[in-house]
Amino acid sequence: MFYRNCIRGLLSSKIVLLTTHDTRYYQEADHIIHLAGGKIEEFKTGHLLAEFDLLQRNRMSDGKKAGGQDVWCVSNEEEGTETLKLEKEEREIGRVAFKVYKEYFLYGVSAIVLFIVFLVFYSGQGIIVLVDFKASRLPILASQEESSFDRALLVYTLCVIAGVVLMVLGTLCIFLVLMNAAYKVHNKMVTCLLKAPLSFHAVNPVGLVLNRFSQDINNLDELLPFYFFMLLLYAAPAVATVLLATITTPLLIIPILIALPAFCFFSKVYFTSATDIKRLMSIAGSPIYSHFSNTMEGLKNIRVYGRQKEFIDQVF
């Protein structure tokens, strides 16, 4: 009605730009511009309209990709319409690959800047560990000349101050890198969502999108920076402690070599199970968001027909 009375009626003498996915209007158009990914993919006019219409129907009958999920278009010969098949949310299996962490950090800064940040942070830790190792000589210097002891004490104090300053500076830089990476990842997600075709929103429930922008982004903003900083903070001192202990007491190498394989085995088992549990928790939130969104949209109809209890039971 709107197309016939308004576009073909009142606006028949005007230039009309119609944006649509409906192929019924192709034959009445003078020019057709096919957009894909924000760019002009094809431009058809005149006698090529029928060919373009056939090409579009062939595309709709094939499998498409939307948001990393398979979208299948099934033609209905009786009604001439097509329906999309929803795919379940999938999850990865196994540990997170090193490539994922690499790409995440490179989102924040370049590789050279990232290397400088780590160098500053570990330089501060190295200075503090070195001071702890050399501090055992202070009693020896105290029994000797007083000037040597005062000079050594001044050097140790300056080294401690320098180490603390470098660690604080490195910590701030690390958090800035992680925050910048999370910011860019969020912006890319929003950009991809806004540029996604309508088929993406047809096959991906609202809860899945909300879950990605809530729980996953929260992990990037809060959990990942904190745990990564804890890893950097305790990894180097732990390695340094083991090295210093083996240098002072070489016999400690034997129990360390015995305990190391067991530690690697249990850590592998823990991280594998913990990663899978975390992924299951992330996926489990999507149906709840979808159910809540659908309930709020149809709240009037639910109350009219008195079906509140059924929707509550679906959650609890």
Residue 31: CA count within 13 A, CB half-sphere: 6
Is 27 within 8 Å of 49 (Cβ atoms)?
yes
Average the pLDDT over 283-298 and give the result.
76
Predicted structure pTM score = 0.57
Alpha-carbon distance 15 to 17, whole Å? 7
Residue 69 has pLDDT above 50, yes or no: no
Lowest average pLDDT, out of 51-55, 133-137, 205-209, goes to: 51-55
Q: Output the six-digit token pair for 305.
A: 């027909």
Q: Residue 255: what residue type?
A: P
Q: Band of the pLDDT at 297, cuts 50, 70, 90?
A: confident
User: What pLDDT score does 147 carry?
Assistant: 65
Lowest average pLDDT, out of 84-88, 135-139, 193-197, 249-253, goes to: 84-88
User: What pLDDT score does 23 carry?
Assistant: 67
Q: Output the six-digit token pair for 2.
A: 């709107």
Query: Would you give the DSSP letter of residue 22?
Result: -
Mean pLDDT rounded to a whole number for the chain: 75
Answer with the residue of higher pLDDT: 145 or 79.
145
Alpha-carbon distance 292 to 297, whole Å? 9
Kindly state the percentage of the chain with pLDDT values over 70: 76
Alpha-carbon distance 113 to 265, whole Å? 34
From 131, 169, 173, select the one nearest 152 (Cα to Cα).
131
Per domain, the residue ranges of the chain are: 1-51, 98-248, 250-315
Q: Output the six-digit token pair for 73.
A: 């278009």
Is 170 within 8 Å of 236 (Cβ atoms)?
no
Answer with the residue of higher pLDDT: 144 or 264.
264
8-47 tens-digit pLDDT: 777 778 888 877 776 667 777 777 777 776 677 777 664 4
Phi then psi for residue 314, to 5 deg, are -65, -25
> How many CB atoms neighbour CB 51 within 10 A?
10
Average the pLDDT over 263-290 and give the result.
80
Burial of 236: CB neighbours in 10 Å, binned 0-12, 13-18, 19+? middle
Q: Output the six-digit token pair for 251.
A: 């016999």
The SS3 of residue 21 is coil
Average the pLDDT over 120-135 and give the result.
80
From 292, 280, 293, 287, select the one nearest 208 (Cα to Cα).
287
85-99 tens-digit pLDDT: 556 666 667 677 788
Residue 66 has pLDDT above 70, yes or no: no
User: What pLDDT score does 302 carry?
Assistant: 80
User: What pLDDT score does 73 carry?
Assistant: 42
144-172 tens-digit pLDDT: 666 666 777 777 888 888 888 888 898 88
User: What pLDDT score does 56 carry?
Assistant: 52
